[in-house]
Amino acid sequence: MICYKCQSVLGEGDHCQVCGEYVGLYKKVVSLSNVYYNDGLEKASVRNLSGAVISLQQSIMLYKNNIAARNLLGLVYYEMGEVVAALTQWVISKNLETENNPADEFMNELRMSPTRLDALSQNMKKYNVALKYCRDGSLDVAVIQLKKVLSSNPRFLAAHQLLALLYMNSGSYSKAEKELNKALAIDNGNTLTRRYLAETSKMLSPGSVDDSLAPAPDRQEDVREYVSGNETIIEPVASRQRGTGVSILGISIGILLGLFTALFLILPQRIEKINLEANKKIAEFSEEAGSRSAQLLDKDHEIEGLNADIEKLQAEIDSYEGTDETVESMSQLLAAGRAYITDPADFENIGAHLDKVNVSEEESDSPDEQTAFYRALLEVCGVGLGDYYYRSGYEALENQEYDKAIADLARSVKYDSTNTAALYFLGSSYYESGELDEARKIYDQVMNEFPDTRYANNAETRIAEINNLGD
Amino acid sequence: MINFEEELSNFKPSLEIEEAEDLIKNQNLDDMSDILIRLMKEAENGGNQRGRT
C-alpha cells in the first residue's frame, strides 16, 4: 500500500512513517476494496459473472487504483460479450498503471486480430438492430438476426436472453429453455436468466408436452399435443408428416388447372376480340382508301379532259396561217392550261398566261374553241385567281401602290365577278389615286350589282364625297 | 407470467466500438479514497483556520 501524500510504502501503523500523514481510514478503504476484489474473483471462478461484476465494481469504486480488480472486471465483461465495457476498463487500467500491466496483453490480443475486432463490432451492431426489430414488432426478423449474432459470438449473454424472451413470447418454451441453459453456462448467477428459466419450467411442467419433444410412449402414435401460449394443441402426427408432399402436389395441380383454364377459355376469347378489332380497322381503312381512289379517279378524268382539249386546240392552231395575234393568244391559253394541270394552285403563273389571252367577252350560243376552253379554265380556277389578285391588290392599296392595286383588283374582278370586296376596293384605289370619275363608275357598279351590302352603303357615301369635291 | 413489453424495455442497446472513446473520456474516476482524502484535507484546513483565530 502506498501513501497517498508522499507515495512511500506504508507500514503497520495508522500514520505514514515518512510524512506522518494519518492513513488509518485510507488503509481501511483500500482493504475493503481488496475484500470485494477477492469476492469478485471467487464468484468469477465459479462462473457467477453477474455477481463478480457487482463485487468488482464495488472494489474499484472504493479504490480506483485496484488494477487487479479493474482488469478482472474487464475480463468478466469480455466473457459476457460486452466488448466495449471490457475495453474501457482495460484502457483506464493501462492509464492508471502503465508498466507491467496485464491489460496490455488483453488489448494486444484484440489488436493483433483486426478481423476479430471487426466481427465483434458487427455483432454488437446486429444485436442493436435486432433489439430495434423487437421494439418495432418485427419479431421473426429479430429472431433471425439474433441467431446470426449468436452463431458469430456464442458467449453474448444478452443476445441469448433476448432470444429466449422472443421464444417465450411465441410459445416455444423448449427453445427458450435451450437458450437460457446456454446463458446459464456463461453466467450461472444471472437473475434474469434464472427468472426466465423458472417461467419456462412452469410452462413445461409435467402434464403438457413440449412442441419439440417426441410423443410419450404411452400416448397414441398418431396424435401429438403441445402447449402454445395458453392453449394445448392436439394434432395428428401423420398429417404434419404428409403435409409437405400433399401441399406441393396440390400446388402443382392448381397451377396446371390454371394454365388449362387460361389456354382453353380465356385465351381464345382474347384472340377473337383482337381479331374483331383488327377487322373493323381494316374495314375503315378500306373505306377511306376507296373514297380516296374515287377522288383520284375524278381528278384523272378531269386531267384527261383538259389534255384532250389541249390537243384539239393545238391541232387547230397548227391549221391557222398568218394570224400571229390569235396564235399568240392560243399559246398563252394553252400555257395557262398546262400551268393549271401542273399545279392548280400556281395562280401567279396561270394568271400571267391568262392575262395575255385575247377572247371575246360577248356571250354566244356557239363560242369558238378558244373561248370555250378559256371559259372552262375559268370555271375551275377563276375563283382562286380572283382571290389571289384580290389579296395582292388589297396589299398594294394598303401600301399606297395605287397603280398595282388597280391592276390586280381589276384582274380579280375580271376572273371572279362575284367578289364584292374586290370591286369596292378597286373603286377605292381609283379614288385614292385621284381618278374620281373612274371611282364613281366603280362605286355605281357596286351599288347596282351588290345592293343591300355594306360595300354598297360605303360606295354611296363615297359617291356623295366625290360629288361634294366636284362642287 | 412474463410481460413481453415490460421485459423488452429492460434490454438496453449494446455499446459499439465507436462509442468507446466517449465512454472512456466521460468516466468519473473519483473513488471513495479520493473523497476521504478530500474530506480529511478540508477537516485539516478547517482546523488550521480555527487555530489561527
* Window A:311-330, CB contacts with B under 8 Å: none
User: What is the pLDDT, as a whole number, of residue A413?
Assistant: 93
Checking if the pLDDT of B52 tops 60, the result is no
Question: Does A84 sit within 8 Å of B16, measured CB to CB?
Answer: yes
Name the residue with cell 382474347. Answer: A270
A223 three-state secondary structure: strand
CA-atom Rg of chain A in angstroms: 58
Question: Does A84 sit within 8 Å of B15, measured CB to CB?
Answer: yes
* Facing B32 at nearest CB: one of A63, A83, A168: A63
- In this prediction, the residues of chain A whose per-residue pLDDT falls under 70 are 206-243, 319-325, 360-367, 470-471
* Facing B15 at nearest CB: one of A85, A117, A161: A85
Chain A residues whose CB is inside 8 A of the B24 CB are 88, 91-92
Asked whether the domain spanning A313-470 has the same topology as the one spanning A24-112, the reply is: yes
Q: Which of B11, B18, B41, B42 to mutate to test the interface with A (most CBs of A within 10 A)?
A: B11
State the smallest CA–CA distance between residue A235 and chain B in angstroms.
26
| Number of other residues whose CB lies within 10 A of the CB of residue A426 | 29
User: What is the pLDDT, as a whole number, of residue A218?
Assistant: 45
Cα separation, A448 vs A452, whole angstroms? 10
With an 8 Å Cβ cutoff, is B39 touching chain A?
A: no
DSSP code per residue over A170-203: HT-HHHHHHHHHHHHHH-TT-HHHHHHHHHHHHH
Q: Give CA separation, A345 vs A244, A295, A403, in Å.
A: 83, 18, 25
Yes or no: say if A131 and B13 are a contact pair by the CB < 8 Å rule: yes
A441 three-state secondary structure: helix
List the single residue in B with minimal CA-CA distance to A118.
B17
Yes or no: say if A111 and A127 are a contact pair by the CB < 8 Å rule: no
Question: Does B33 sit within 8 Å of A4, measured CB to CB?
Answer: yes
Cα separation, A4 vs A94, whole angstroms? 19
Yes or no: say if B4 and A112 are a contact pair by the CB < 8 Å rule: no
| Number of other residues whose CB lies within 10 A of the CB of residue A325 | 8
Question: Does B19 sit within 8 Å of A84, measured CB to CB?
Answer: yes
State the smallest CA–CA distance between residue A68 and chain B in angstroms.
16
Question: Does A161 sit within 8 Å of B36, measured CB to CB?
Answer: no
- Contacts of A341 by beta carbon, 8 Å cutoff, 6+ apart: A303, A306, A307
- Contacts of A215 by beta carbon, 8 Å cutoff, 6+ apart: A209, A221, A223, A224, A237
A434: left (phi over 0), alpha (psi -120 to 50) or beta: left
State the smallest CA–CA distance between residue B53 and chain A in angstroms.
24
Cα separation, A113 vs B16, whole angstroms? 18
Query: What type of residue sits at position A35?
Result: V
Question: Does A91 sit within 8 Å of B24, measured CB to CB?
Answer: yes
User: What is the pLDDT, as a whole number, of residue A213?
Assistant: 45
User: What is the pLDDT, as a whole number, of residue A458?
Assistant: 92
Q: Does domain A117-204 have CATH number 1.25.40.10?
A: yes
User: What is the pLDDT, as a whole number, of residue A90?
Assistant: 94
Chain A residues whose CB is inside 8 A of the B28 CB are none
With an 8 Å Cβ cutoff, is B48 touching chain A?
A: no
Checking if the pLDDT of B1 tops 80, the result is no
State the smallest CA–CA distance between residue A64 and chain B in angstroms.
6
Q: Does domain A313-470 have CATH number 3.90.550.10?
A: no
Chain A residues whose CB is inside 8 A of the B3 CB are none
With an 8 Å Cβ cutoff, is B35 touching chain A?
A: no
pTM check: above 0.90: no
Yes or no: say if A63 and A170 are a contact pair by the CB < 8 Å rule: no
State the smallest CA–CA distance between residue A201 and chain B in angstroms.
12
Q: What CATH number should be reported for the domain whose range is A24-112?
A: 1.25.40.10
Q: Give CA separation, A392 vs A332, A357, A455, in Å.
A: 22, 21, 19
Domain residue limits, chain A? 24-112, 117-204, 313-470
List the single residue in A with minimal CA-CA distance to B2.
A199
Chain A residues whose CB is inside 8 A of the B36 CB are 25-26, 29
Q: Which of A3, A84, A111, A190 to mutate to test the interface with B (most CBs of B within 10 A)?
A: A84
ipTM of model: 0.84
A411 vs B1: which has the higher pLDDT: A411
| Number of other residues whose CB lies within 10 A of the CB of residue A285 | 10
Yes or no: say if A330 and A370 are a contact pair by the CB < 8 Å rule: yes
How would you label A334-369 residue by residue, b for 16+ Cβ within 10 Å and e otherwise? bbbbebbeeeeeebebbbebbeebebeeeeeeeeee
With an 8 Å Cβ cutoff, is B20 touching chain A?
A: yes
Q: Which of B10, B21, B28, B31 to mutate to test the interface with A (most CBs of A within 10 A)?
A: B31
List the single residue in B with minimal CA-CA distance to A22.
B40
In 3D, which of A114, A253, A117, A229 has the Cα closest to residue A176?
A: A229
Question: What would you measure as the largest C-alpha separation in chain A, in angstroms?
Answer: 164
